[in-house]
Amino acid sequence: QIKGFIFDLDGVIANTSVYHAKAWHQLADKVGVSWTTDLANQLKGVGRMDSLNLILKSGNKENDYSDEQKASLAEEKNDNYLQLLKSLDKSEILPGMEKFIEDLSAHNYLISLASSSKNSPRVLEALDLNKYFDARVDPATLKHGKPDPEIYVRGAQVLNLKPEECIGLEDAVAGITSINGAGEISVGIGDPEILNEADINFKDTSEVTLENIESAMKRKLN
Ligand code: G6P
Ligand code: MG
């Protein structure tokens, strides 16, 4: 029986994945790595340093920078990202998501956040959605980022639930891999060909409703 829902933030609740991508694109240009949709998809959901390393690796530049230089590149990306967040407000909640989260809360489901982003408290605050969350995983306390299962394992633990009692929602391949590895039901939001490992797929957030999830689960069982 499902008792809890574990949410990714960027690209699931908030329209902020486009800002992350924009800021990483700027950084890729700066270090001379070409920006492709494939690289953009690889970076989705992946933490800050891991993302930087993926970018450098994709241009065979992983050995060109010291740890110190990498830290300052990551900081520069974050500064650019924060600039893009300046005017963030409720209008950046993705279609249908506030209603969906409200519904879950009204039906007494427990709700946690499993975002890799150290900026997630700030984003939730700006969107005025904090009130719906029973718990959050602090990404700074993780040993391994997505696609490792750790963050979604913790997402269930912080709700005192077993993984099999939880559904995780993600827009990123790395996130779906993490949910599946944790033994939870995975909902992929976005291109179903890219998110083909998800248990349930929705093309966009407006399709994500409790009803649609329930009927998709019934279909899966039959
Ligand atoms: C999320 C986003 C990624 C981002 C990561 C780290 O998972 O989807 O694009 O790189 O968080 O975010 P941060 O705000 O800590 O740099
Ligand atoms: Mg995401």
Mean pLDDT over 204-214 rounds to 98
Q: What phi and psi values does residue 161 have, to the nearest 5 degrees?
A: -120, 160
Please tell me the predicted confidence (pLDDT) of residue 220: 85
Please tell me the predicted confidence (pLDDT) of residue 199: 98
Q: pLDDT by residue (tens digit) across 130-187?
A: 999 999 999 999 999 999 999 999 999 999 999 999 999 999 999 999 999 999 999 9
User: CA distances (Å), 52 to each of 30, 75, 134, 208, in order?
Assistant: 12, 10, 31, 31
**Known catalytic membership, residue 10:** yes
Q: Is the pLDDT of residue 222 over 80?
A: no
Q: Looking at ligand 1, which atom is closest to the CA of residue 74?
A: 16
Inter-residue long-range contacts of 105-108, CB under 8 Å, 24+ positions, other chains counted: 105/132, 107/210
Q: Looking at ligand 1, which atom is closest to the CA of residue 171?
A: 8
How far does residue 221's CA lie from ligand 1's centre (Å)? 34
Where is 160: in which H helix or E strand?
none
Instruction: Say what the ipTM of the complex is.
Output: 0.97
Average pLDDT, the chain: 97
How far does residue 1's CA lie from ligand 1's centre (Å)? 31
Q: What angle do CA 184, 118, 73 make, to 5 degrees?
A: 120
Cβ–ligand 1 distance for 205 under 6 Å, the answer no
Please tell me the predicted confidence (pLDDT) of residue 204: 98
